[in-house]
Amino acid sequence: MTEAPILSARAISKSFGRGAGTVRALHDVSFSVARGSFMLLKGASGSGKSCLLAALSGLQKPESGVVIAKGTNVWGRGSRSAERFRRHDCGYVFQTPGLFPSLTAWQQVFVPLRLLGVPAKEAKVRASHYLDLVGLLDRAQSKPSQLSGGQNQRVAIARMLAKRPAFIFCDEPTSALDGRNAIMVAKLLRDATEHQGATILCATHDDRLVPFANRVIELEEGRLVSDTAEAKP
């Protein structure tokens, strides 16, 4: 028996502005995603990929259409249901790591876990484990100003992975990174699908990520124009 998709977009549309100044960012975009996929959303600037990612991830409500995640309508009860989805099921990685300047790398991972209700003992174990996973346990006591851009992005990924989310949504996570750090981030994300069963949707211009994905969707002027499976190495 075929497993139901873990995420489905059904006729997602979004516009900005009013009257003659209205810009249609998305035009009835529909597709489904299998559990454990590593999917890239590609397209030129203004193609709608970040707007689509925001709708799918519970960050910005679409003008029309439905997003179904784990059998539940993400926007079915407005912002309340979307907030629950974000809090319990989602992890996010953006171009800017968004770390707290005053916290050490270890605290960046530990504190959010405690805010989510993870017991202190388990949160301590997870914080150390995921910093080790991204190769930064030896920098656990360093603050963002003491780390490179690539290292800070890896701390942000450790923070996200420690939550053990069902979905990981990324928006240009490697665009500011050099080749070595970009490949490291791509491998960490792919490992999350293989070892944690996470489903990843990543909006990107970065072709370096393509070999790590098993599916690439391309948008053009808010329309889905191609959907290609890519073999993992």
Residue-range domain boundaries for the chain: 38-61+90-228
CB 206 within 8 A of CB 174: yes
pLDDT of residue 2: 65
Count Cβ atoms within 10 A of the Cβ of residue 127 and give its class: 0-12 exposed, 13-18 middle, 19 or more buried: buried
Residue 230 Cα to chain centre, angstroms = 19
Class of domain 38-61+90-228 (CATH, top level): alpha beta
The average pLDDT across 120-126 equals: 97
**What mean pLDDT do residues 37-57 have?**
94
Band the pLDDT of 19: cuts 50, 70, 90: confident
User: Which of 129, 85, 138, 89 lies closest to 109 in space, CA to CA?
Assistant: 129
Summarize the confidence of residues 137-157 as an average pLDDT: 95
Predicted TM-score (pTM) of this structure: 0.90
| 194-217 pLDDT per residue, tens | 988 999 999 999 999 999 999 999
